[in-house]
Structure 1
């Protein structure tokens, strides 16, 4: 049973949306430490690796189609290092929270998860809303600040402060988030 889940949220993106220019610079900084964190988490039996990705309005899209669209998008260099390992859970979402309209709650409960590590994009949107939904479900929350990308740095900083203060999230780094 995994006691921790590493969620990788919305990193398989074609980068074809409004504000993409603002997001790209932050995503460029996040991809290397996140890819290393995914590799480390994948090698551990006590960590459930879960990808939750926006389906971009295509309710028939499979995992392979989502990954293919992302690889063929504007920034394949940001996608390739973070392609989901074939043996990890892959859920699609349609709104900001990774919990909304997905089977994530059931999966985490079934696996005995107590702590959720939130990574991906966008800090001030999908990460923040997933943190709130994690908190109301009584999960412990960790957010490695070097593994979350933002559109607006000031809003991301405010979101991280809100997660820490209001949701008791531990704001840490990728180097320490799998410790203890």
Structure 2
């Protein structure tokens, strides 16, 4: 039996970085798909795990990161997908959700063998996370309408690479199931 968790990547964000002007419109387009996935995962009692950069704030915890993002100029992009009290939270420092984080251990503790990825950025953190999931023998699915990109051409190439090289399913959010096989 397959147990699935939803991983929301880097959505606790102030969007105060060089690529924000290009990224923000894509995030706005991806928000409905993300909200659908989060709602459906919660309805099916699947783990919802937020894995987020800490923006170099090594003394902060997830509530501080969330409060900072909600006070930022794009709180409207964070509020609709904010973690609830049952959500799990993992801090990362680099692109992959797995790189030097406790995520692999956490997934093992919850007996998760399939992850669904949504969030940002398709051609960076989502791509590298899908690769690391593949290397670790986790089945992975990426919701193509629930991930945001900076460069559309690179995002499309990332989707092709995930499908072809990493055996990652790439599906619209409304076609992703959270019920056990």
Offset at residue 110 of structure 1 (A):
1.1
Asked if the contact 1:5/1:117 (under 8 Å) is kept, the reply is yes
Asked if the contact 2:36/2:174 (under 8 Å) is kept, the reply is no
Asked if the contact 2:123/2:155 (under 8 Å) is kept, the reply is yes
* Distance (whole Å) between structure 2 residues aligned to residue 74 and residue 13 of structure 1: 10
Offset at residue 36 of structure 1 (A):
2.1
* Distance (whole Å) between structure 1 residues aligned to residue 157 and residue 177 of structure 2: 24
Other-structure match for 1:24: 24
Where has structure 1 moved over 4 Å in runs of 4 or more?
Answer: none
Superposed, which structure 2 residues align to 1:68-87 within 5 Å?
Answer: 68-87=67-86
* TM-score for both structures, normalised by structure 2: 0.95
Other-structure match for 1:104: 103
Secondary structure of 2:173's counterpart equals coil
Asked if the contact 1:33/1:146 (under 8 Å) is kept, the reply is yes
Q: 1:88 to 1:165 in 2, by over 3 A?
A: same
Other-structure match for 1:178: 177
Asked if the contact 1:2/1:111 (under 8 Å) is kept, the reply is no
Other-structure match for 1:60: 59
* TM-score for both structures, normalised by structure 1: 0.96
Secondary structure of 2:47's counterpart equals strand
The unaligned stretches of length 5 or more in structure 2 are none
Other-structure match for 1:145: 144
Offset at residue 73 of structure 1 (A):
1.4
The unaligned stretches of length 5 or more in structure 1 are none
Other-structure match for 1:37: 37
* Distance (whole Å) between structure 1 residues aligned to residue 32 and residue 85 of structure 2: 20
* Distance (whole Å) between structure 2 residues aligned to residue 95 and residue 139 of structure 1: 20
For each residue in 1:46-76, what CA deviation from the matched residue of structure 2 results, as whole angstroms up to 9, or x when unmatched?
x211000110001111111110111111211
Other-structure match for 1:88: 87
How many residues matched? 179
For each residue in 1:9-62, what CA deviation from the matched residue of structure 2 results, as whole angstroms up to 9, or x when unmatched?
0011000011101101100001122112101111213x2110001100011111
* Distance (whole Å) between structure 1 residues aligned to residue 65 and residue 26 of structure 2: 22
RMSD across aligned positions (CA) = 1.3
Asked if the contact 1:117/1:141 (under 8 Å) is kept, the reply is yes
